[in-house]
Structure 1
Amino acid sequence: MTSIAGLPDFLVYLGTGAGLTGLYLVVYTLATAHNELALIRRDVTAASVSLGGSLLGFTLPLAVAIYNARSVLDCLVWGLVALVVQVGVYWLVRLVLPDLSRRIEDDRIAAALLLGAASLAGGVLNAASMTY
């Protein structure tokens, strides 16, 4: 029985992480000027690349937040910080490429790769900052 003693905590943190990830996807897709899911349904690779990079950029610091959390509330707070940072990364890339959404809608991979890489870089820095 001791091998599954941590199962309740595992389930709580897994549920918290899944909930935060779902919230992130809703907030992020509302924050962008293009509809990622509609574009992905139309097989627009650029939308998938940019959203995938963003999702990785969010879940990396979320994983660190779960690992370092002293409580579920602590995890929630740092998960929300990760969410804000990722939305901020999107807006920073939009400053560099004001027509970012049009480029993604047009399936231009260069813009999607830039956004995905910036999102991942933001996530790595965010995660490292959470290891204080």
Structure 2
Amino acid sequence: MHYVITGQSFLAFAAFMGIGLLILLLAITLVALITPHKEITLIRQGNKAAGIGMAGALIGLALPINSVISNSVSLVDAAIWAAIAAVMQVLAFGISRAIITRRGPDQIDAGNESAGWFSAGVAIAVGLVNSAAMVP
């Protein structure tokens, strides 16, 4: 097959990429705002648990956004479903944080890597399920 990138196809790529990255940025910002600690500061300080948890959150958010963009019928369709996917991921993130921190001091602040891995695992698992559910 012979594929040619046209101006129209490049603009479509840019629009879908832009909406996907915008929703990803908004969602990860919301995740950072709902946590009781400053994850970016903790990551800069070398807190591995915070880095693991945030990486998992990013992957978990990106998985359904990928699926939505791959299967959407329009840019508006992609934006709506990506926003829904982001809300589901933020809810899952909140639930995993409640489970982790239920036992006392914040486990991520304390650098408990197992708490970071658990948080990342929940985000990725929910992202995979979310991604599969978004396919028509």
TM-score, length of structure 2 as denominator length: 0.90
Please name the residue that 1:74 is paired with: 77
Residue identity opposite 2:94 in structure 1: W
**Percent identical:** 27
Q: Structure 1 residue aligned with 2:58, among 35, 46, 55?
A: 55
**Segments ≥4 residues shifted beyond 4 Å:** none
Please name the residue that 2:25 is paired with: 22
| Number of residue pairs the alignment of both structures matches | 131
Contact 1:54 1:120 in 2 (8 A): yes
Question: 5+ unaligned residues in a row in structure 2: which ranges?
Answer: none
Please name the residue that 1:34 is paired with: 37
Residues 25-54 of structure 1, C-alpha deviations (whole Å, 9 max, x = no match): 211111111211011111101101001001
Question: 5+ unaligned residues in a row in structure 1: which ranges?
Answer: none
Q: Provide the rounded CA distance (Å) in 1 between the counterparts of 2:53 and 2:71.
A: 28
Offset of 1:94 from its aligned partner?
A: 3.0
Task: Evaluate the alpha carbon distance shift between residue 40 and residue 46 of structure 1 in structure 2; reply closer, same or farther with a 3 A threshold.
Answer: same
TM-score, length of structure 1 as denominator length: 0.92
Please name the residue that 2:115 is paired with: 111
